[in-house]
Structure 1
Amino acid sequence: MIDELDLAFDEHADKTKPRHRRGRGGKKSTGKSGIAFVMAFVLLAALGGGVYFGYNKVKGFFTAADYDGAGGEPIQVTIEKNATLTDIGNTLVDVDVVKSTKAFVNAADANPKGKNIQSGTYNLKKQMSAENAVTLLLDPKSRVTKGVTFREGLTMMQTFTLLSKATKIPEDDFVQAAKNPEDLGIPSFWFNRRDSKQVKKTVEGFLFPDTYEFDPKMDAEAILKVMIGRFLETAEEIGFVDTVQKNLSVSPFEALIVASLAEAESGVAKDLPKIARVAYNRTYKQKPAMPLQFDVTANYWLQLKGSAAKHSGQLSQKELNDPKNPYNSVSQTGLPPGPIDNPGKAALEGAMKPATGPWLFFVAVDKDGNSAFAVTDAEHEKNIDKACANGIKLSCD
């Protein structure tokens, strides 16, 4: 208190006179400096510790969480078609294969082939490092599924046979699953017709020909849904429904039937739009309508009854003109009750945008499958003579 009083009185003192400082005041100043130094050191140390702790925390935010090693419990994981690396990472995190999506994406980016991961089912392990997960996903030996290819023009029964061989699921499971097409995802509008003819509700025509990879856990119903889904995607992609309804006087179902007929009759893709035009001309343009007289409808009926298909030249008149055959196109006019096979994209496009022309006849004229088209019966007979001369098996007597 003495020092404080002295300072207080000094304020009123004559500022022109020198102030008197006690010697012990100097010692006290030295003590305060020491304390201040210690406090500053402690403060800097605390700040330094805080900075270090904060750095580690922030560093943690930018370091992707990851497991170590090759993993433990085996697990099968399905990678969906068109999945991004982030999508794949999310899938792997969900089943505890990798610890974080970021770690997986980083590992895939670091691998020169990381962007080549394909869809399918893989044998992986839980809690494996992201790097090891990427390595296994790029290893063909890790894949469980194998691609199954269905060519254009297969009937549904032929498709069921191939499906059964590829998946080991009994054919009858596919037959039973196919009984209710709308339950498999086919919209009801597909089974409408404008020509007032009988409608056959079937999956025939809707099992899109393509290469598929089916998850081993899928049953017959799930597999058919995938194939039908591919058909619906393709139809939407090419604008099949809208184009048919806008430009043709038929329903999408009728156009699908025409696509299946063209697929069965055509030997080369370029003829698909012309064959479709012949079907439309005979059915809708001619007055009265002409029977299609397509041999392939007789063959389809044989296959539905469990018999083998035959070459056109080997079909008997009884088989061609079977009155019990609802697909009979020799004596019955109009389109059959439904598609006779599963057409591909080119056939769908041909039926959707048929060639412009008055043709009513066509016949295969060479061994490459090319067809010649005619308007009159006389022109058609000349084309038949040309086919016979080229060694095509027809009624050439």
Structure 2
Amino acid sequence: MIDDLDLAFDERADKGRHRRSYRKNVGKKKRKGGGGKTAVAFLMALVLLGALGVGAWYGFDRIQSYFVTADYDGAGTAEKVNIEVKQGASATDIANLMVKADVVKSAKAFIEAADADSKSKNIQPGVYGLRKQMSAKAALAVLVDPKNKIVNGVTVPEGLTMLSTFKKLSDQTKIPVKDFQAAAKNVDSFDIPPFWFERRDGKKVTKSLEGFLFPDTYEMPPKPTAKQILDIMVNRFLTVTGDMKFADTVQAKRGGIAPYEALIVASLAQAEAGNKDDLGKIARVAYNRVYLKDMPLQFDVTLNYGLEAAGKPTKASKDMSPADYANAGNKYNSHYYKGLTPTPIDSPGKDALQGAMDPPAGQWLFFVAIDKQGHSAFAVTDEEHEANKVKAREAGIIN
């Protein structure tokens, strides 16, 4: 039965083909050039297949990129690149920096390598020498080893004036002092927010980098300029005070005193204190004299700052004369002028900033060093102060 059906199907199919062929050619002349049309059709088919192939490959490549992280192979080319890892930089920050410098091929590759290596959490800030087009794993291996840091360190202690800071930097970097002075003149070229140069004590603002060159040990980039070094120090100041919430705390707790005024007080305490335990108390004395009692500060360190700024030799307190205390030409003479000085008088460290931001409570108006460890005794009245001065003389601290 199945054989009969197959035969019937074959017969019908064969008859159909004959009829279609007959009708197609009835009343028509034989055409020429059929081979040319066939060639064109063949070429079009090839083009179409090629296009489909390219499209398929492009689509595959795009899809593959979603699953395969772009990365270079090996230890990189011969071309070297210095990368600076800043304080607090995340793996993403570092990755983006290295992609921009063509050290690694993609941020994703570096982040994946960092996630897979617990040592990546201990990458230290500093400058590292890497190569272009390194694998992410090879680049990470350089960064996790502190020995690979390019050491070009400078140290600036607390309490140096700006001019003394420039001399210290010059000694360590061999950059001329005049280059630092020239860079510091254009205060607006530094990214210091405008509120730092506002005062609420009625005195005119004198823009200066004094007070903003944070004392610390720094690792500098290779062959830095004076401006680059000062930028690094100013940025550290802004980072430290930002982390401390210095400006917010001062304005909240110090009765409307501007952050710049508190910075001046921090610099005064830094200059006067012989021991860090007394920084906050000396700041309190400054606040009490200036804002509560309308008294002159009478700090010898301010007079000396004015002398240094004028290019004159400074003096020990025992060598200062009545003429020095009465000198109106010295705008930093806090024996003559009431209120705070025109600018900070040095670069205060974090302890001094903390003391000025949140000093201990007290009504003190006087202090004097009473031992060779630099500790001071504080007094509210003249009588108490005179008694403390006797102790200081007995200890051989003052004459």
TM band (smaller chain) = 0.7 to 0.9
The residue that corresponds to 2:261 in the other structure is: 254
SS in structure 1 opposite 2:102? coil
Structure 1 position 265, deviation (Å): 0.7
After superposition, the C-alpha distances for 1:180-231 in whole angstroms (9 at most, x for unaligned) are 3233122333333333234322111122222322323643333323322322
Structure 1 position 105, deviation (Å): 4.6
CA contact (8 A) 1:167 1:216 kept: no
How big is the alpha-carbon RMSD for the aligned residues of Structure 1 and Structure 2? 3.1
CA distance in 2, matches of 1:86, 1:188: 30
**Percent of aligned positions that are identical:** 54
Structure 2 counterparts to residues 147-158 of structure 1, below 5 A? 147-158=153-164
The residue that corresponds to 1:186 in the other structure is: 192
The residue that corresponds to 1:281 in the other structure is: 288
The residue that corresponds to 2:311 in the other structure is: 306
CA contact (8 A) 2:296 2:336 kept: yes
The residue that corresponds to 2:74 in the other structure is: 68
For normalisation by structure 2, the TM-score amounts to 0.76
CA contact (8 A) 2:187 2:207 kept: yes
The residue that corresponds to 1:161 in the other structure is: 167
The residue that corresponds to 2:84 in the other structure is: 78
Matched residue pairs, number? 346
Structure 1 position 104, deviation (Å): 3.9
Structure 1 pair 213–308 and aligned structure 2 pair: CA distance change class (3 A): farther
CA distance in 1, matches of 2:80, 2:235: 31
Amino acid at match of 2:179: D
CA distance in 2, matches of 1:236, 1:105: 28
Structure 1 pair 115–193 and aligned structure 2 pair: CA distance change class (3 A): closer
Structure 1 position 155, deviation (Å): 0.9
Moved more, 129-138 or 174-183: 129-138
After superposition, the C-alpha distances for 1:293-324 in whole angstroms (9 at most, x for unaligned) are 11101221222133454443344444444331
Structure 2 counterparts to residues 47-196 of structure 1, below 5 A? 61-62=67-68, 65-69=71-75, 71-105=77-111, 107-108=113-114, 113-140=119-146, 142-196=148-202
Determine which of 316, 337, 341 is the counterpart of 2:346.
341
Structure 1 pair 271–108 and aligned structure 2 pair: CA distance change class (3 A): same
Determine which of 267, 272, 283 is the counterpart of 2:274.
267
The residue that corresponds to 1:200 in the other structure is: 206
Amino acid at match of 1:176: A
After superposition, the C-alpha distances for 1:322-380 in whole angstroms (9 at most, x for unaligned) are 33110111232222111111112222222222322221110010111111011221211
CA distance in 1, matches of 2:162, 2:168: 10
CA contact (8 A) 2:130 2:142 kept: yes
After superposition, the C-alpha distances for 1:64-116 in whole angstroms (9 at most, x for unaligned) are 63312464222222223322334333333333333444554555566664433
CA contact (8 A) 1:77 1:123 kept: yes
Amino acid at match of 2:387: K
SS in structure 2 opposite 1:96? coil
CA contact (8 A) 2:196 2:260 kept: yes
Amino acid at match of 1:259: A
Structure 1 position 259, deviation (Å): 1.3
The residue that corresponds to 2:3 in the other structure is: 3
CA distance in 2, matches of 1:323, 1:385: 31
Structure 1 pair 241–176 and aligned structure 2 pair: CA distance change class (3 A): same
For normalisation by structure 1, the TM-score amounts to 0.76
Determine which of 312, 326, 329 is the counterpart of 1:324.
329
Structure 1 position 171, deviation (Å): 1.8
Amino acid at match of 2:5: L
CA distance in 2, matches of 1:4, 1:315: 135
After superposition, the C-alpha distances for 1:271-296 in whole angstroms (9 at most, x for unaligned) are 1222112112222222xx32211110
Structure 2 counterparts to residues 17-28 of structure 1, below 5 A? none
SS in structure 2 opposite 1:121? strand
The residue that corresponds to 1:356 in the other structure is: 361
SS in structure 2 opposite 1:178? helix
Structure 1 pair 315–139 and aligned structure 2 pair: CA distance change class (3 A): farther
Structure 1 pair 123–387 and aligned structure 2 pair: CA distance change class (3 A): same
Consecutive unaligned residues in structure 2, runs of 5 or more: 9-59
Structure 1 pair 60–236 and aligned structure 2 pair: CA distance change class (3 A): closer
CA contact (8 A) 1:182 1:188 kept: no
Consecutive unaligned residues in structure 1, runs of 5 or more: 9-53
CA distance in 1, matches of 2:245, 2:396: 40
Structure 1 pair 334–92 and aligned structure 2 pair: CA distance change class (3 A): closer
SS in structure 1 opposite 2:139? helix
Structure 1 position 263, deviation (Å): 1.1
CA contact (8 A) 1:365 1:372 kept: yes
CA distance in 2, matches of 1:178, 1:375: 40
CA distance in 1, matches of 2:359, 2:147: 46
Determine which of 227, 237, 242 is the counterpart of 1:236.
242
